[in-house]
Amino acid sequence: MSSPLREYVQRFSSIRMAVIGDFIADEFIHGATSRISREAPVLVLDFIRREVVPGGGGNAAMNAAALGGDVRAIGALGADVAGEELRRAMERRRIDTGLLLTDSERVTPTKTRIMAGGRNTKRQQVIRVDHEKKLDLNETLESRIVGEVERMADNDLDALLISDYGLGVVTKGIKGAIRKLSTKLIVTVDSRYAGDSFPGVTAITPNEEEVEELLGYWPDEERLDEAGAFLLEKTGAQAIVITRGDKGMSLFEGESSRADIPIYGSDQVLDVTGAGDTVIAAFTLSLAAGASMREAAEIANRAAGLSVMKAGTTVVEPHELLATLEGESA
């Protein structure tokens, strides 16, 4: 199997794709544990450094670009420092941010993680502070995004990835445009709360918590087939990929039987931050490169296995993914 999988990965550099959705600034503040405060029973940290990396749709775009794709980011950011830092971080990966529009009424979603530890020990997250405000796009920005996406779809775009965290960028108008475009090109969806509101797309990639949110029950082994079949019928998607943590992922496709793909690599997970973004980026690129749903899921599963062994919001590189295929026969 590995020979065609390698060929698909090697084709990633020829794929043109767009990521549309909610772009989030993941802020990390690193500090060394100093003492207990006299004011309250809390840790005092000596500041070491601060960094901002793209999260949400930004992380999906970063992973797609790191894997070799020609990526365009589409969404809206606030007229604030976090938005500018987020934009610059993506541009360093050569992601086209021309359609990351600035909205003076919007706050760039920011997740601040405080990382604490000794100066010579691994730092752990001790608290996270989210700064988010849901705000639907105004009609002017929505119209511009719809028009640009439709123009790109008619001009050699290979795939469209939707990263919907429910923060207002993916409006009803944009969903309507996505529905039309799904007949022309590959459209994949990662939606935190509304995966069933994208009818007829190529594939949807919910995790177990998102499935529970949609269906009202946890997709354990006894109800997993029921959940997959219901989501296929409800969404009209060609495929449903349910990511299942240390159990890997399960693929549901048309009338085919469920395909379970065990977790790749060690089950001693270091950090699951952004793993879902890695999955959908690799899965989408693989489909655009000509892989079947099963092959694309296998590649995405390997990418996820690499991602969770890294700390923080990270990306997977092509050489790392190709290395997982070394020594395996076709």
d(CA 149, CA 157) in angstroms, rounded, equals: 9
Other Cβ atoms closer than 10 A to 233: 9
Contact 308, 267 (CB under 8 A): no
- For the question of residue 277 being annotated catalytic, the response is yes
For the chain, give the number of residues.
330
In DSSP terms, which residues pair with 50 in a beta bridge? 29
Helical axes 293-307 vs 275-288, angle rounded to 10°: 150
Query: Tokens for 292?
Result: 């079947």
Output the CA angle 180-12-210, nearest 5 degrees: 55
Residue from 22, 103, 190, 277 carrying the catalytic annotation: 277
Taking the C-alpha atoms of residue 101 and residue 144, their distance in angstroms, rounded to an integer, is 10
For helices 139-153 and 172-181, give the axis angle rounded to 10 degrees. 10
3, 298 Cβ separation under 8 angstroms: no
Give 309-314's long-range contacts (Cβ < 8 A, gap of 24+).
309/265, 309/266, 309/269, 309/270, 310/270, 310/271, 311/122, 311/270, 311/271, 312/26, 312/28, 312/53, 312/271, 312/273, 313/26, 313/53, 313/54, 313/55, 313/59, 313/273, 313/274, 314/274
Active site residues: 277
